[in-house]
Amino acid sequence: MTQAEAKNVNVWYNNFQALKNINLTFEPNTITALIGPSGCGKSTFLRLFNRMNDLIPKFRLEGMVTVNGQNVYSDDVRLDEMRKNVGMVFQKPNPFPKSIFENVAYGLRVNGINNKKILEETVEHSLKQAALWDEVKESLKKSALELSGGQQQRLCIARALAVQPKLILMDEPASALDPISTAKIEELIFELKKTYTILIVTHNLQQAGRISDLTAFLYLGELIEYNHTKKIFLNPDDERTQNYITGRFG
């Protein structure tokens, strides 16, 4: 079964074509890294899967994007329902100015789940999955803003896990963090692969090499190469990929 798919995808912002005829499929329980120089369209591509691009004026899409076999851009899709199935972690940790508990419970509450027992269980389970539970279990009522940057990012991951998505989108989740926090996040992502399918945009090529199974290289809106990470890094087919990963441009 395919977890997510982009078929003949073209994207425009006004007259600028950001993505050109992209075809990609993502299998369950894999980590796929999206790499490429700034402005190559990798974030745009990532945000197709939970329709975050809808918020950008003059955004236009051709082609089909599916998650769990459902076309997320079809007219009968309800955005809030659809986004429950797709978790997202942003570049800058963005915890809500609420307690740690309420941050994780937020996704459940907005979906109408207010049962105390369910909330408590889910919060604990999600924080454990995000490897944050041991650090915060005594202080769930404390403001999330008092956590360190790395802890905040793991909290945001826990928050995304709480609504039990299948697919998780990560937009440079470790780029604002120090090396130790980054290592923790990477470890966590690797662990999450058992349960989830993960798409991760990253500028950090070592990071892509360490954690991903597959890597897609985008350049100027085109998908240049998509293959097993090892193959991309050791023996890419395309010269542009070779140039990028050896640091000759980007």
Partner 1 sequence: MNTKQLKQKTAFIIIGTLSFIVVAILVIILGFIFIRGIGVISWEFLTAMPKDGMTKGGIFPAIVGTACLVLGSMIFAFPIGVLSGIYIHEYLSESWLKKFLRMMTNNLAGVPSIVFGLFGMALFVNYLSFGDSILAGSMTLGLLALPVVIRLTEEALKSVDDGLRLGSYALGATKIQTIQKIVLPIAFPNILTGLILSIGRVSGETAPILFTVAAYFLPRLPQSLSDQVMALPYHLYVLATSGTNMKETRPMAYGTALVLVTMVLIINFSASLLRRRINRKNKMV
Contact residues: partner 1, CB under 8 A: 50, 52, 55, 57, 79-81, 83-84, 86-88, 90, 92, 94, 96-99, 102, 106-107, 109-111, 143, 145-146, 156, 159-160, 163
Q: From the CB of residue 77, how many other CB atoms can be counted at a distance below 10 Å?
A: 15
**In whole angstroms, how close is the CB of 169 to partner 1 at the nearest point?**
8
Q: Which is nearer to partner 1, 83 or 240 (CB)?
A: 83
Q: Which is nearer to partner 1, 160 or 223 (CB)?
A: 160
In DSSP terms, 9 is beta-bridged to 22
How many angstroms separate the CA atoms of 107 and 126, rounded? 12
Q: Which is nearer to partner 1, 116 or 249 (CB)?
A: 116
Q: Which is nearer to partner 1, 59 or 219 (CB)?
A: 59
**In whole angstroms, how close is the CB of 90 to partner 1 at the nearest point?**
6
CB 11 within 8 A of CB 18: yes
Q: Which is nearer to partner 1, 109 or 231 (CB)?
A: 109
Strands 197-201 and 167-171: parallel
**In whole angstroms, how close is the CB of 198 to partner 1 at the nearest point?**
15
How many angstroms separate the CA atoms of 38 and 35, rounded? 9
Residue 108 burial by CB count (10 A; 0-12/13-18/19+): exposed, middle or buried?
buried
- Residue 30: φ, ψ to 5°: -125, 155
**In whole angstroms, how close is the CB of 86 to partner 1 at the nearest point?**
8
Cα Rg of the chain, angstroms: 18
Q: Which is nearer to partner 1, 164 or 243 (CB)?
A: 164
**In whole angstroms, how close is the CB of 163 to partner 1 at the nearest point?**
6
**In whole angstroms, how close is the CB of 206 to partner 1 at the nearest point?**
26
CB 229 within 8 A of CB 209: yes
